[in-house]
Amino acid sequence: MPLRNRWVPSTETEFHVGNGLVAQLTPREDGTWFTFASARHRAHIEPLRHLDIRWGTLQG
């Protein structure tokens, strides 16, 4: 399925899928990871708030 309004993931991109939650992880050249997560309900994203990640945007 095409990801509208998103770039095409690299071959090193990882997708992790759970019940109502999907996360995309793509390594960057500087050793960090681009992380994107989406959920059917905000409650599924809320636990991510407690991880040691510097989020650009988190609406959970």
pTM of the model: 0.62
Cross-strand partners of 36: 24
Q: What is the pLDDT along the chain (60 residues), one digit of tens a residue?
A: 455 555 556 678 888 898 888 888 888 889 988 888 888 888 888 888 888 877 777 665
Listed in sequence order, the residues at least 6 apart from 45 whose beta carbon sits closer than 8 Å to its beta carbon are 21, 37, 38, 39, 58, 59, 60
DSSP helix, strand, coil percent of the chain (3-state; round to 5): 15, 30, 55
